[in-house]
Amino acid sequence: MAGSNEWESAVTQFRKAADILKLDESIIQFLTSPRRIINVSIPVRMDDDSLKVFQGFRIQFNDLRGPTKGGIRFHPDVDMEEVKSLAFWMTWKNTVVDIPFGGAKGGVICNPKELSQNELEKLSRGYIQEMYQFIGPEKDIPAPDVYTTPQVMAWMVDEYHKFTGHNVFGMITGKPLEMGGSHGRDIATAQGGVFVLEEALKKFGIKNPTVAIQGFGNAGLTAAILLAKKGFKIIAVSDSKGAIYDEKGLDVDKVIAHKNKTKSVVGFSGKELSNEELLELKCDVLVPAALANQITDVNANNINAKIILELANGPVTPQAREILFKKNIMSIPDILANAGGVTVSYFEWVQNNIGYAWSKEEVETKLKVKMIEAFDNVYKVYKEKNIDMGTAAYVFAIEKMDKILELRGIKKIHR
Ligand code: NAD
């Protein structure tokens, strides 16, 4: 994965906001340096009786606002630079939505598609065996990410139980409902995105928008379902094989059925497009929900949407955000647009701590309040300072963090 590009983008965006706030260089260095990096080797006895050693890591970037929080990614190409960017983004995401967590992320270099269930379970348990002393409900709370599922979380919480001698559901989130999970966690990222999108649509005075979605996995597909339910017209969707387009609107349920049958959206009725063409379609709302670095200074001038909802992490570069801003296109930044997932993870942790489960409706109402509040806060900075929403989100979050640095006496050390 293109970890170093992402880190460069992450720091460029951060510095842009830090410059507006005239942040001291020493504080910039402090806030862009991860607090702790943990590297582990995880030995797994494979089904054929051979022994294989997997490399795992976790970066606890910043814990000044609370225990660190972020998912664990199982992927053959995951690398430290990528995890560093993701842990950094988690720090600012949690600050933007004002939940009392710092930022972290973890990864294991492996190909889950080539592992049996038995091997996957051993690897998941092995990660906890190596990491258990560094994580916990008051230290660092992992969650699912690419190729890690509620079942993986269940194995991990069970393994942690063995080390502590008692059940600690709050050590991890994204668990199955039967094991301390929260209602609404499965759809939370897309749901949170929909709440902020609705606020943006009100600002633009757009009703019944047309929508194009890049990526038809957990985030993109769920967004398509929720947006179609609201009566929005989904005119294009895509996956790694290509894009489909129908200006009259796609029947999302039928596209999902087609994808379940054929493993791709491609081949469904309507016109076929490339992923690049999808990004440049004329529509009200564009939702990049697949990969990083999709809208850059190369194609930003060709974007024909009015609002971009950055559901993926890092899909729009800081340079592109600036170009889009000049074209009066609002790009709702990832650290706001996709913060619904970690927000409901926070609700899961709270429910575990108080030993009481909220209903689906309660979770949804609380998520809506958090997301609208965060949108309003970022929008205020965007208007006041006349800067793009991405930079505005960082300005808002850095100011919040700066106050903590002052209260903890960290700034004084540098003066
Ligand atoms: P996923 O693996 O479930 O889905 C990814 C989708 O993108 C798949 O449909 C895949 O076919 C498609 N894709 C891959 N390459 C593509 C390409 N070149 N063009 C178009 N589509 C392509 O992953 P996900 O969980 O939906 O995550 C997607 C993005 O959202 C990632 O950046 C992730 O970090 C971010 N995100 C997800 C969550 C969550 O809760 N799922 C939370 C926060 C952020």
Give residue 208's identity as a one-letter amino acid code.
Answer: N
What's the fold here for domain 37-177? Answer: Rossmann fold (3.40.50)
Instruction: Write out the two tokens for 306.
Output: 């009015």
254 CB neighbour count, 10 Å cutoff: 11
pLDDT score, position 5: 82
**Domain 37-177 identical in fold to domain 182-415:** yes
pLDDT score, position 4: 64
- The whole-angstrom separation of Cα 106 and Cα 31 is 19
Ligand 1 proximity of 338 Cβ (cutoff 6 Å): yes
Mutate which of 69, 239, 245, 268 for ligand 1 pocket (most atoms within 8 A of beta carbon)? 239
- Ligand 1 atom 16: the closest Cα is on which residue? 240
Ligand 1 centroid – CA 12 distance (Å): 23
16: nearest Cα among 317, 371, 330, 412 = 317
This prediction has a pTM of 0.96
Exposure string of 85-117, with b = 16+ CB inside 10 Å and e = fewer, is bbbbbbbbbbbbbbbebbbbbbbbbbebeebee
Ligand 1 proximity of 170 Cβ (cutoff 6 Å): no
Catalytic-residue membership of 105: yes
Whether 134 and 141 have beta carbons less than 8 Å apart is answered as: no
- The whole-angstrom separation of Cα 7 and Cα 124 is 27
Profile the chain (415 residues) by mean pLDDT over runs of 10 residues. 76 97 95 98 98 98 98 95 96 98 98 97 98 98 95 98 96 98 97 98 97 96 98 97 96 98 93 96 98 95 98 96 97 98 98 97 98 98 98 98 94 59
pLDDT score, position 414: 47
292: nearest Cα among 3, 75, 34 = 3
Mutate which of 5, 82, 189 for ligand 1 pocket (most atoms within 8 A of beta carbon)? 189
In the DSSP assignment, the letter for residue 313 is: S
pLDDT score, position 415: 45
In the DSSP assignment, the letter for residue 113 is: G
Task: Give the domain ranges of the chain.
Answer: 37-177, 182-415
Ligand 1 centroid – CA 316 distance (Å): 14
- The whole-angstrom separation of Cα 104 and Cα 135 is 11
Whether 334 and 215 have beta carbons less than 8 Å apart is answered as: no
- Which CATH number is 182-415's, of 3.40.30.10, 3.40.50.1820, 3.40.50.720, 1.10.1740.10? 3.40.50.720
The strand pair at 68-69 and 140-141 is best described as parallel
Angle at 56 between CA 50 and CA 58, to 5 degrees: 165
Annotated catalytic residue within 84, 105, 122, 175 = 105
Cite the beta strand spans of 271-360 per DSSP E: 271-273, 285-288, 307-309, 330-332
pLDDT score, position 197: 98
